A and B are shown apart, each in its own frame.
Chain A
Amino acid sequence: MHDETIILEPGRAGINYWNDLWRYRELFIILAWRDVSVRYKQTIIGVLWAVLRPFLTMLVFVVIFERLAKLPSDGNAPYALMVFAAMLPWSLFSVSLGEASNSLIGNEKLISKVYFPRMIIPVSTIVVAFIDFLISFIILLGMMVYYRFLPSWNLALLPVFIILALFASLGPGLWITALNVKYRDFRYLIPFVVQFGLYISPVGFSSSIIPEKWRFLYSLNPMVGVIDGFRWSILGGGSPIYWPGFILSIGVIIFFLWLGIRSFRKMENSFADLI
């Protein structure tokens, strides 16, 4: 029997929060497992579709950007490979953002009946996006075999960029989730941001085509740094990282992570009242 003392006072909820997050880690795993189970218990087509979508988008981009617009690829890599290497982090980002922002509202019954650190919910939805990511990664490996493209040792650093992609999704995800509970209109923002971002970010094309003088500003989009990193890691030296931009992207990621956690914590206490 634990004998810890808790004091409940207005404005005081924050003190034990991080301890609670650790203590509720099993709940986090169970909720993530629940989301994954439910998703994959659905039709085979549903699962295939989740994975086929980035692949088909890649095909479309190859046709438009390489064949029609004749944009150059990075180094010697086949254009399709270059695009798909970017689709991986992009899908992780867009699916996480979409799932996380609706997660609180979707779990409203839980939130109004049980206590647990609410941050567990949006974070656990990211696990679903990660599972999709792993499946797409296998497809990527398949493509590399098809093109007989041998990756360099840069590939060993891929986990670093994966973690970066996760953080890039977590920050805005938490921020929009928190806002979405209070102002329901925010969920309309997500599909727009994702659509818009897909063309603005260097998914269908390489960021090396951006004119030198704009490249730094371009990296304000955090996914630029993440995608460049993925490409460098998967395609090797032919896809060099533009370091000033990369550092800026990381800075933006850290900023959004801070903003997301802060807004979420501030609004958390009123979730049960607003939902």
Chain B
Amino acid sequence: MSDIVIKSENLGKKYVIGHQAENGRYVALRDVLMKNALSFWSKAKDLAKGKPIIQGDTLEEVWALKDVSFEINRGEVVGIIGRNGAGKSTLLKVLSRITESSAGRVTIKGRVASLLEVGTGFHPELSGRDNIYLNGAILGMSRAEIKRKFDAIVAFSEVEQYLDTPVKRYSSGMYVRLAFAVAAHLESDILVVDEVLAVGDTEFQKKCLGKMDDVAHEGRTVLFVSHNMNAIQRLCQRCIVLSHGAMVFDGESGTAIGHYLKSKDLNQQVSWPQTAQAPGNDVVRLRAVRIVGDDGKVRSNFDVRDHLAFEIEFQVYKEAQLAIVVQFVEALGTYIMVSMDNYINGPWGKQSPYAAGIYKSSCYVPGDLLNEGQVSINLWIYSPPSAPSQSPHVRLFNVVSTDVSDRRDPDGARGQFPFEWGMEPAVRPKLKWTIEKVA
């Protein structure tokens, strides 16, 4: 007799978004006035009817999730994977009751604890101790429960010395460790986790994975969204693959990952013409990201020897100090390397802010560095003096990708080496070697 804890039947979630009509059509002043009067009138009608007012001349319904059905049994650890915008986070939000579904029905048996962000509700002015109680309560723990686990939480986080200092003085590592420590001690039947492993250093990520392993072995049901296929493979036997809001595969993890990799088109550039849907918030939003070659043109394929550049176009709405982090990842989500923009060369937290406007930031990757294979980038835009993990404005995974292959030029890093490289290193730069006879 199966013990179904989550049952989703034809789950759907739709959003209504607005589109601006092209400006070219309205030339005459009369037309402009007419257009504004009509939109004012229809907004007033919406207001009277109690419908939300959406900016834009025409409205479109977008189904973020459509006809998603599955059953999850007690004790299963299920991964949810898919490209950006596939609906993974939306699915988690519906299951966590943060947003209401638009169609279908979900039946949940048991208490759900959601980890959609590390450090939810942390207040910078309060001490670490206070924030443990605050964050714990927000995640659903009772005060007695937090008190009981307090020592274990502090031990896990390793911030004992700084417990009574305001959290705003913590380093980003401490911040993230404390936040995860609280979340790690949640006791609930069902745990829903979103991309949490993407923050922090390797040490921390190992700790997180270890803890998730423990949770899985305790017999709790876990739903796990991640772009890191290694983590997924390690933790989950079963995976659900989402694409454009629909479920395209539900089954064994290895096969699921195969599906995901195949469906992942290599998009060398991506842009967001509709500002409202662009990643970001009211401070900064992305406009476009692309991979270009030496000539400035977008390319889908590079040789290991080619120089390439990532162009990141963004629009700043409110003056703020901004910095960009780019993580290079390969096909399965493992990190190759990371790079940060020039902000790090100046005094931390004390540089002149970006004025409102549109900017293009370029990250140049020299040739003879990357190994063959698929390269993708994760992109973060945040405001120092905070750390990237603390409420970034933009946090996007696998934004653009490209294939890197080896033409086997004799004066590249490969030289005349005729065999396969074999060891699948992340990078293979052309390093300087010298040799001299010493005796």
CB distance from A99 to the nearest CB of B (A): 16
Q: Are A30 and B101 in contact (CB under 8 A)?
A: no
Q: Does A9 contact B (CB under 8 A)?
A: yes
Q: Does A195 contact B (CB under 8 A)?
A: no
CB-CB under 8 A from B123, the residues of chain A are 34, 38
Smallest Cβ-Cβ distance to B94: which chain A residue: A8
Q: Are B105 and A3 in contact (CB under 8 A)?
A: no
Q: Which of B33-41, B106-114, B355-363 contacts A (4 or more CB under 8 A)?
A: B106-114
Interface residues of A in 5-35 (CB under 8 A from B): 5-11, 13, 26-27, 30-31, 34
CB-CB under 8 A from B102, the residues of chain A are 10
Partner of A115, one of B52, B98, B104, B391: B98
Q: Are A3 and B109 in contact (CB under 8 A)?
A: yes
Interface residues of B in 148-197 (CB under 8 A from A): 189
Contacts A8-B105, A13-B100, A113-B117 given; does A30 touch B125 at CB 8 Å:
no
Q: Does A272 contact B (CB under 8 A)?
A: yes
How many contacts between A and B, using CB within 8 angstroms?
110
Q: Does B126 contact A (CB under 8 A)?
A: yes
Q: Does B209 contact A (CB under 8 A)?
A: no
Smallest Cβ-Cβ distance to A6: which chain B residue: B108
Bound-state CA distance A269–B109 (Å) is 21
Bound-state CA distance A2–B110 (Å) is 6
CB-CB under 8 A from A13, the residues of chain B are 97, 100
Contacts A2-B189, A9-B105 given; does A26 touch B98 at CB 8 Å:
no
CB distance from A93 to the nearest CB of B (A): 26
Q: Does B73 contact A (CB under 8 A)?
A: no
Contacts A9-B101, A182-B53 given; does A30 touch B107 at CB 8 Å:
no
Contacts A26-B143, A38-B126, A273-B99 given; does A109 touch B120 at CB 8 Å:
yes
Q: Are B100 and A10 in contact (CB under 8 A)?
A: yes
CB-CB under 8 A from B104, the residues of chain A are 9
Contacts A109-B391, A115-B114 given; does A273 touch B15 at CB 8 Å:
yes
Q: Does B138 contact A (CB under 8 A)?
A: yes
Contacts A3-B109, A27-B138 given; does A10 touch B101 at CB 8 Å:
yes
Binary interface encoding of chain A residues 141-179 relative to chain B, with 1 for a CB under 8 A from any of its CBs, else 0: 000000000000000000000000000000000000000
Partner of A1, one of B15, B105, B189: B189
Partner of A34, one of B105, B117, B134: B134
Q: Are A7 and B110 in contact (CB under 8 A)?
A: no
CB-CB under 8 A from B189, the residues of chain A are 1-3
CB-CB under 8 A from B307, the residues of chain A are none
Q: Does A67 contact B (CB under 8 A)?
A: no
Q: Does A57 contact B (CB under 8 A)?
A: no
Partner of A8, one of B50, B108, B117, B121: B108
Q: Are B110 and A1 in contact (CB under 8 A)?
A: yes
Q: Does A200 contact B (CB under 8 A)?
A: no
Bound-state CA distance A26–B138 (Å) is 9
CB distance from B61 to the nearest CB of A (A): 13
Q: Are B142 and A26 in contact (CB under 8 A)?
A: yes
Q: Does A112 contact B (CB under 8 A)?
A: yes
Bound-state CA distance A155–B228 (Å) is 66
Q: Does B137 contact A (CB under 8 A)?
A: yes
Q: Are B125 and A26 in contact (CB under 8 A)?
A: no
Residue of A11, A109, A115 ringed by the most chain B CB atoms within 10 A: A115
Q: Does B139 contact A (CB under 8 A)?
A: yes
Q: Are A5 and B107 in contact (CB under 8 A)?
A: yes
Q: Does A131 contact B (CB under 8 A)?
A: no
Smallest Cβ-Cβ distance to A30: which chain B residue: B137
Bound-state CA distance A112–B133 (Å) is 20
Binary interface encoding of chain B residues 294-321 relative to chain A, with 1 for a CB under 8 A from any of its CBs, else 0: 0000000000000000000000000000
Bound-state CA distance A11–B93 (Å) is 16
Q: Are B137 and A8 in contact (CB under 8 A)?
A: no
CB-CB under 8 A from A2, the residues of chain B are 110-111, 189
CB distance from A31 to the nearest CB of B (A): 8
Interface residues of A in 84-142 (CB under 8 A from B): 109-116
CB-CB under 8 A from A112, the residues of chain B are 93, 98
Q: Are A114 and B138 in contact (CB under 8 A)?
A: yes
CB distance from A17 to the nearest CB of B (A): 11
CB-CB under 8 A from B134, the residues of chain A are 30, 34
Q: Does B369 contact A (CB under 8 A)?
A: no
Bound-state CA distance A4–B190 (Å) is 12
Q: Does A255 contact B (CB under 8 A)?
A: no
Q: Are B47 and A183 in contact (CB under 8 A)?
A: yes
Residue of A30, A37, A114 ringed by the most chain B CB atoms within 10 A: A114
Q: Are B138 and A274 in contact (CB under 8 A)?
A: no
CB-CB under 8 A from B138, the residues of chain A are 27, 30, 110, 114, 116
Q: Does B252 contact A (CB under 8 A)?
A: no
Contacts A109-B121, A113-B117 given; does A5 touch B108 at CB 8 Å:
yes
Partner of B121, one of A1, A4, A110: A110
8 contacts between A and B (CB under 8 A): A2-B110, A2-B189, A6-B107, A6-B108, A9-B101, A10-B100, A26-B143, A27-B138
Chain A interface (Cβ < 8 Å from any Cβ of B): 1-11, 13, 26-27, 30-31, 34, 37-38, 41, 109-116, 182-183, 266, 269-270, 272-274
